[in-house]
Amino acid sequence: MHHVNGKQIAVIGLGRSGYAAARLLTVHGAHVTVLDDKTPEKLTAWIEKLQALPQVKLVMGGIDPTRIAVSDLVVISPGVPALHPALVSAREKGIPVIGELELAFGYCNAPIAAITGTNGKTTTTTLLEIMINASGKKAIACGNIGKAFAEAVFELTTEDAAVLEVSSFQLETIEEFRPRVAAILNVTPDHLDRHADMQAYVEAKGRIFENQKPGDSVILNVSDKYTPIYTGLAKSDVYFFGFAGAIRGDKKPGCYIEKGMIELLGRPLIQATELLIPGPHNLENACAAALMASLMGVKDDVIAQTLRTFKGVEHRLEPAGEVEGVRFVNDSKGTNVDSVVKALESFDKPIVLMLGGRDKAGDFTRLSALVKEKVTRIVAFGECKNKVVQQLSPSATVVEAETLEEAVNGAFVASEKGGVVLFSPGCASFDMFQNYEDRGRQFKAVVQKLKAYKAAQAVKA
């Protein structure tokens, strides 16, 4: 834990995490300078909130190394690359550089359950939060979703639980961060535009349990190729989850899907068919959440009831409406190729796939087999639409769209009655939208506009 009273602290990146870090630091007596390379009009709401904090200076339009050089500590938001030249310079001068996650950990009184992985984090984190709250104990989902961790710590006591969704970016800058229960859901290629290579990405994910000790727990996916590596590195108690058919050797303690049943630590929990959220990946997410909840002290009946009633999270295989017998599905949270694979595996109906956005060095050819099997047409949009055309044209007809509305209308025209238009972009959203939430909500709005138009046409007819 870094003691900050009276210290000069630089916070890099405003936004949700930066504001929360600045607030936490000022409460503990630090003198804070917030730096961001964006112009003020892009951060108006956060600037207004920041102005209410004492002892905070704001520098916009660039990250000035000279201001960082006079700091006692630098705290960065997840979107700031750990190898930014100003941060490299700070480390060379002996100035510690940590993330908002590490900062908040030092002030968190509650036990922590932390979840990372390439896909499934939001669903699993939300499920776990609901399970703990349903048990009568207060839990707050925070970190990479909902509230920033540095904001949530103000509300958490020793009797509560922090349920963290944690990204590889956040794990890059930890020092002492230590969850009581940690989970790595899966690891597939993602964010290779930021991480040096796949090995660096795998190592970043593995940092979630590097400070754990015996008595803490880490849970791992029996189907993931990197699980044997993580198992060998863990110093804490190791549990497993997933499909029992993927187990090699003896069955270790965990939560498994076996013979149509979800079993928790050897006890039957619910029938797999009782789960409302679709897809085999969500069965894995359910097992991970159930196992973590059990390790956090939640009883089986509470876990089972949550699984039976949970309808999913916004932007993750979310029903977005039906127009003339065509179902629209909002999977805007699908920001990498593997998430598109999981989305495609969740449907048997003919699919028109909407794919594109800002490239994250993804390999769309990995979709080829599923596209040939399930997809009747692809509508490509965003910055990397040309790459989508080049890599997937051999597998399906691919058409390009310039706007989201053009893409939705084109997908509808190409769809079949009883089919699905799947909005699973497989890319980052920042080329055309503020974030994946903004992208998903704009998609849903366009679908509703199309639905209203078709209804009006039907009335006129």
Tell whether 2 is covered by a domain. Answer: no
| Domains identified in the chain, total number | 3
Tell me the three state secondary structure of residue 114.
strand
Same domain for 340 and 284, yes or no, is no
pLDDT at 246: 87
d(CA 27, CA 7): 12
Tell whether 440 is covered by a domain. Answer: yes
109 in catalytic set: no
Same domain for 89 and 191, yes or no, is no
Give the residue ranges of DSSP H helices in 3-153.
15-27, 44-50, 65-69, 85-92, 100-105, 121-134, 149-152
Same domain for 439 and 351, yes or no, is yes
451 in catalytic set: no
State percent of the chain over pLDDT 90: 80
Write out the H or E segment, with its range, that includes residue 204: helix 198-206
Same domain for 143 and 218, yes or no, is yes
Ramachandran assignment for 324, one of left (phi > 0), alpha (psi -120 to 50 degrees), beta (any other)? left
CATH of the domain at 456: 3.90.190.20
Same domain for 290 and 426, yes or no, is no
Q: Choose one of 285, 309, 333: the last residue of a domain.
A: 309
Tell whether 215 is covered by a domain. Answer: yes
The DSSP code for 358 is B
Tell whether 400 is covered by a domain. Answer: yes
Q: Choose one of 33, 67, 100: the last residue of a domain.
A: 100
Nearest alpha-carbon partner for 254 in 271, 269, 276, 239: 239
pLDDT at 191: 58
Nearest alpha-carbon partner for 68 in 5, 14, 4, 9: 9
Non-local (6+) Cβ contacts of 19 within 8 A are: 34, 46, 49, 50, 148
Query: Catalytic: which of 31, 84, 191, 374?
Result: 191
The torsion angles phi and psi of 291, rounded to 5 degrees, stand at: -65, -45
Same domain for 441 and 401, yes or no, is yes
* Exposure of 375 in the CB half-sphere (CA atoms within 13 A): 31
How many residues comprise the chain? 461
Query: Catalytic: which of 121, 205, 342, 374?
Result: 121
Tell whether 3 is covered by a domain. Answer: no
Tell whether 1 is covered by a domain. Answer: no
Which residues of the chain fall below pLDDT 50?
A: none
144 in catalytic set: yes
Give the residue ranges of DSSP H helices in 214-279.
227-233
pTM for this structure? 0.84
**Domain containing residue 70:** 8-100
Q: Is residue 338 within 8 Å of 271, Cβ to Cβ?
A: no
Give pLDDT tens digits for 439-449. 999 999 999 99
CATH of the domain at 264: 3.40.1190.10
Same domain for 385 and 447, yes or no, is yes
Which class for 373: exposed (0-12), middle (13-18), buried (19 or more C-beta within 10 A)? exposed
Tell whether 252 is covered by a domain. Answer: yes
Q: Choose one of 79, 100, 121: the last residue of a domain.
A: 100
Query: Catalytic: which of 144, 282, 285, 330?
Result: 144
Same domain for 326 and 380, yes or no, is yes
pLDDT at 195: 56
Same domain for 43 and 73, yes or no, is yes
d(CA 134, CA 306): 8
Same domain for 161 and 305, yes or no, is yes
